[in-house]
């Protein structure tokens, strides 16, 4: 684990700005307790402590920012230069506007630049670290250290309740339980995605404890799976990737798709999975820029003695071209194919309708769709309207971004909004 000065994990859980593995005081008071040392939680801690407020951030993981560490193939797609409200899904599409407008992708890029972290732009405005996602984690740790944030890892929040002073939070670390009284309590625990990283959905239970509605939650940005008949076909195509347009329910994305042993994956599929619902078809256009029926008719006239699969393999990956030709029954020369047969094959190429039976679930989902109902929150501060001092930020909230750095930007923006609001209250 890389980190800034003042970090140690020699004697147990990594702790920032304090000595020892855990704080064991049985009872103490601080300004703010944050549940979750992920992107949103650490961002909130940085700004909540900016005016001298005492901030404790607790996480049951062994290291902070684990989803940051594994994201983007280990290089962290930390934001997208095209970020806007239209890139997010929520039952209230206007909710995210305030935080995204006040702390933008350019604000975070400026922070990355100030820390000297090299980065590059890939396709569609996605920004990645040149070296390692650990650069982003180290940056956040250094920023937290500057303002004296106390980081307790391998620490669970056993219970939280409203008290006269704010909130009473019971922490457990290495078998010891301590009570912390705080004025502000922030839930930045994430959703249910990637349970092997420690995701539990605990934040939703806290919301329900305080009487807050939680919208339906689903695995999102996740591969789609199909019945045995379709899967058997896709198994033969496993590893084949092709740029395509994928459409579902009037929403479409144009990026790569990938055939797998279980079904379909790739950026376009992950994107559309957030919009797909049971029994909905997903429609693929494998050559969206090509009038494939006209192309095949022209080739039949000009190159009648060539095999259909050979002609298609000039436009599509060979294994896919052979598969489509065989499914259409066109194993001979293209001169032998009728207009009706070519038209039917063209439809499969550019209007291929498939019916997934589900997704791979939270095991491989990058995010959780849905969450704490935004109607219960102040859009400017992320504070619960009915419970002053209680905040929900990041993935636990019903705001879900597209693939490509948008969910990290929501974490930065919502964490900043809550942190700034908390700091203003404590000053």
Q: Give pLDDT tens digits for 276-307.
A: 999 999 999 999 999 999 999 999 999 999 99
In angstroms, the CA 102 to CA 292 distance is 47
User: How many Cα atoms sit within 13 Å of 48 on the Cβ side?
Assistant: 31
Contact between residue 61 and residue 188 where contact means Cβ atoms under 8 Å apart: no
In angstroms, the CA 78 to CA 129 distance is 8
pLDDT band of 404, cuts 50, 70, 90: very high
In the chain, where the domains are located: 7-216+369-426, 224-359
7-216+369-426 maps to which CATH number? 3.50.50.60
Cβ within 8 Å of residue 149, ≥6 positions away: 16, 17, 45, 46, 49, 55, 56, 57
Per-residue pLDDT, 23:
54
Per-residue pLDDT, 427:
65
Per-residue pLDDT, 8:
34
Q: What is the DSSP letter of 147?
A: T
Q: Is 321 left (phi over 0), alpha (psi -120 to 50) or beta?
A: alpha
Per-residue pLDDT, 11:
34
Q: Give the percent of the chain with pLDDT over 70.
A: 94
* pLDDT tens-place string over residues 24-34: 556 789 999 99
pLDDT band of 3, cuts 50, 70, 90: very low
Per-residue pLDDT, 200:
83
At residue 61, the 3 state secondary structure works out as coil
224-359 maps to which CATH number? 2.40.30.10
Q: Which residues of 372-386 are buried (b: 16+ CB within 10 A; e: fewer)?
A: bbbebbbbebbbbee
Provide the mean pLDDT of the chain.
92
Q: Give the percent of the chain with pLDDT over 90.
A: 88
The count of residues in the chain is 427
Cβ within 8 Å of residue 59, ≥6 positions away: 35, 36, 37, 38, 41, 151, 152, 153, 155
Contact between residue 226 and residue 357 where contact means Cβ atoms under 8 Å apart: yes
Tokens representing 69 are 């560490």
In angstroms, the CA 323 to CA 185 distance is 56
Whether pLDDT at 390 is above 60: yes
Tokens representing 32 are 């703010």
- Report the sign of the C-alpha dihedral through residues 252, 258, 259, 260, in that order: negative
In angstroms, the CA 56 to CA 54 distance is 7
Residue carrying structure tokens 């700004």: 47
**What mean pLDDT is predicted for residues 245-253?**
97
**What mean pLDDT is predicted for residues 322-339?**
91
pLDDT band of 231, cuts 50, 70, 90: very high
- Among 7-11, 18-22, 86-90, 175-179, the range scoring the smallest mean pLDDT is 7-11
Contacts 24+ apart (CB under 8 A), 331-336: 331/307, 332/307, 332/308, 333/304, 333/305, 333/306, 333/307, 333/308, 334/296, 334/299, 334/300, 334/303, 334/304, 334/306, 334/307, 334/308, 335/300, 335/304, 335/305
**What mean pLDDT is predicted for residues 323-333?**
89
Per-residue pLDDT, 425:
86
Cβ within 8 Å of residue 168, ≥6 positions away: 160, 161, 162, 179, 180, 181
Tokens representing 278 are 């049971």
CA distances 20 to 15, 91, 138, Å, are 7, 44, 20
pLDDT band of 18, cuts 50, 70, 90: very low
Whether pLDDT at 103 is above 60: yes
* pLDDT tens-place string over residues 182-215: 999 999 999 999 887 777 889 999 999 999 999 9
In angstroms, the CA 384 to CA 230 distance is 46
- Report the sign of the C-alpha dihedral through residues 295, 298, 300, 304, in that order: negative
In angstroms, the CA 371 to CA 90 distance is 9
In angstroms, the CA 262 to CA 234 distance is 7
Residue with more model confidence, 136 or 330: 136
How many degrees, rounded to 5, is the angle at CA 70 between CA 65 and CA 71?
A: 95
């Amino acid at each position: 684990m890389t980190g800034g000065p003042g970090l140690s994990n020699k004697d147990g859980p990594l702790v920032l700005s304090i000595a020892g593995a855990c704080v064991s005081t049985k009872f103490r008071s601080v300004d703010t307790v944050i549940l979750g040392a992920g992107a949103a939680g650490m961002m909130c801690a940085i700004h909540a402590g900016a005016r001298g407020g005492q901030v404790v951030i607790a996480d049951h993981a062994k290291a902070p920012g684990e989803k940051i560490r594994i994201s983007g193939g280990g290089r962290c797609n930390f934001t997208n230069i095209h970020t806007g409200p239209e890139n997010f899904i929520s039952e209230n599409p206007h909710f995210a506007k305030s935080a995204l407008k006040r702390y933008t992708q350019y604000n975070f890029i400026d922070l990355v630049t100030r820390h000297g972290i090299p980065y590059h732009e890939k396709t569609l405005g996605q920004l990645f670290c040149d070296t390692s996602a650990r650069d982003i984690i180290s940056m956040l740790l250094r920023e937290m250290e500057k303002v004296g944030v106390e980081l307790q890892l391998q620490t669970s929040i056993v219970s939280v309740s409203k008290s006269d002073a704010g909130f009473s939070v019971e922490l457990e670390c290495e078998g010891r339980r301590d009570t912390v009284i705080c004025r502000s309590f922030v839930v930045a625990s994430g959703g249910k995605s990637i349970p092997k990283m420690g995701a539990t959905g605990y934040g939703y239970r806290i919301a329900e404890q305080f009487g807050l509605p939680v919208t339906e939650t689903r695995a999102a940005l996740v591969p789609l799976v199909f019945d045995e008949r379709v899967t058997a076909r896709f198994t033969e195509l496993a590893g084949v990737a092709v740029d395509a347009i994928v459409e579902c329910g009037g929403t479409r994305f144009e990026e790569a798709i990938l055939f797998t042993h279980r079904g379909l994956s790739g950026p376009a599929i992950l994107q559309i999975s957030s919009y797909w619902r049971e029994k909905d078809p997903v429609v693929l256009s494998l050559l969206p820029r090509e009038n494939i029926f006209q192309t095949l008719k022209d080739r039949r006239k000009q190159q009648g003695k060539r095999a259909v699969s050979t002609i298609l393999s000039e436009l599509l990956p060979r294994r896919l071209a052979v598969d489509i030709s065989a499914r259409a029954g066109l194993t001979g020369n293209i001169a032998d194919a009728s207009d009706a047969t070519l038209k039917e094959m063209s439809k499969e190429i550019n209007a291929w309708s498939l019916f997934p039976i589900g997704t791979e679930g939270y095991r491989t989902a990058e995010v959780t769709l849905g969450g704490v109902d935004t109607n219960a929150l102040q859009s400017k501060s992320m504070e619960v309207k009915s419970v002053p001092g209680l905040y929900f930020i990041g993935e636990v909230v019903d705001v879900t971004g597209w693939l490509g750095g948008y969910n990290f930007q929501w974490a930065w923006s919502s964490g900043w909004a809550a942190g700034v609001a908390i700091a203003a209250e404590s000053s």
